[in-house]
Amino acid sequence: MLDSILNILPDLNKAFFETLYMVAISLGVSLVVGLPLGIILFVTDKGLLFENAWIKQIAGILVNLIRSVPFIILLVALLPLTQLITGTTIGPTAASVSLSVAAIPFFARLVETSLREIDKGVIEAAVAVGATPWMIIREVLLPEAKPGIVQAITVTAISLLGYSAMAGIVGGGGIGDFAIRFGYYRYDNTIMLTTVILLIVIVQLMQVIGDGAAKAVNKR
């Protein structure tokens, strides 16, 4: 048994870093795009800083649209876009495109939810002080929602890890892909178990780090 594990170790190692790579890129992109999108979803709401029914509607529909497409379909549907951006449709870089597209609206909604938990009175008090909307976003909304946003990053990262397994369908590589190809299709339970345990360890690690970070920034 140890032998077979040792045998797959180089491949597993490669798969591990592919997964890390995919998750890191798509997490990065979803943060950069999803955070502003989440803020837009919140501040354009009725009675808030930039109340705007049109933007709210359009952003909301766009987010729901992407979120309602099953990831496996999104993955295939986005192949032309992937080709356009990365020049290929195979490999972890290519898979990162669809992963990012799926993660952006997911993260944006989580950001919106954590912003919604802020007491409206705190925002109002900042308005009464004479702060600009930009200042309120930067100095009130984001700091107040920080614990929630950190949790959202954790949840998004873990979801991305799960989704990245499906990337194998389009030859994306990674641990999930590895588990399916070597473990599932070849009925090799040792490999199957090893990869699953590895995934469990990664998820646990992410959760622990995320919870710790959320707790550290929570001053409530």
Partner 1 sequence: MIEIKDVTKLYKVKGKEIVGVKNVSLTIDKGEIFGIVGYSGAGKSSLLRCLNLLEKPTSGEIKIDGIPITELGKKELREERLKIGMIFQHFYLISAKTVFENIAFALKAAGKTKEEISSKTNELLKMVGLENQKDQYPSQLSGGQKQRVGIARALANDPKVLLCDEATSALDPNTTKSILSLLKSINKKLGITIVLITHEMEVVKEICHRMAIMQDGEIIESGDVYNIFANPEKELTKTFISSVIQMDLPEPLLKNRKGTVIKIQFKGAIAEEAVVSELFQNFRVKGNILHGKIEYIQETPLGIFIMELVGEEAEVKRAISYIESRIENLEVVKQVA
Residues within the interface to partner 1 (CB under 8 A): 119, 121-122, 124-132, 135, 139-140, 143-144, 146, 217, 219-220
In the complex with partner 1, which residue's Cβ is closer, 94 or 152?
Answer: 152
* Minimum separation from the CB atom of position 125 to partner 1 (A): 4
Q: Which is nearer to partner 1, 148 or 168 (CB)?
A: 148
- The tokens of 82 are what? 């992937």
3-state secondary structure 118-152: CCHHHHHHHHHHCCCHHHHHHHHHHHHHHHHHHHH
Residue pair 19/176 in contact (Cβ under 8 Å)? The answer is yes
- Tell me if 174 sits within 8 A of 92, measured CB to CB: yes
Q: How far is the CB of 131 from partner 1 (least distance, A)?
A: 4
Q: Cβ 156 to partner 1, closest distance in Å?
A: 21
Shortest distance, position 213 Cβ to partner 1, whole Å: 14
Q: Is 46 exposed, middle or buried (0-12, 13-18, 19+ CB in 10 A)?
A: exposed
User: Which of the 8 DSSP states describes residue 183?
Assistant: I
CB of 25 to partner 1, least distance (A): 29
- Element containing residue 7 per DSSP (H, E): helix 2-43
Minimum CB distance to partner 1 smaller for 142 or for 180: 142
- The number of beta carbons lying within 10 Å of the beta carbon of residue 206 is 18
User: With respect to partner 1, which residue has the nearer C-beta, 11 or 139?
Assistant: 139
Residue with smaller CB distance to partner 1, 144 or 177 = 144
d(CA 193, CA 205): 18
Q: Which is nearer to partner 1, 16 or 50 (CB)?
A: 50
Task: Say which amino acid occupies 189.
Answer: N
Min dist CB 153 to partner 1, Å, is: 17
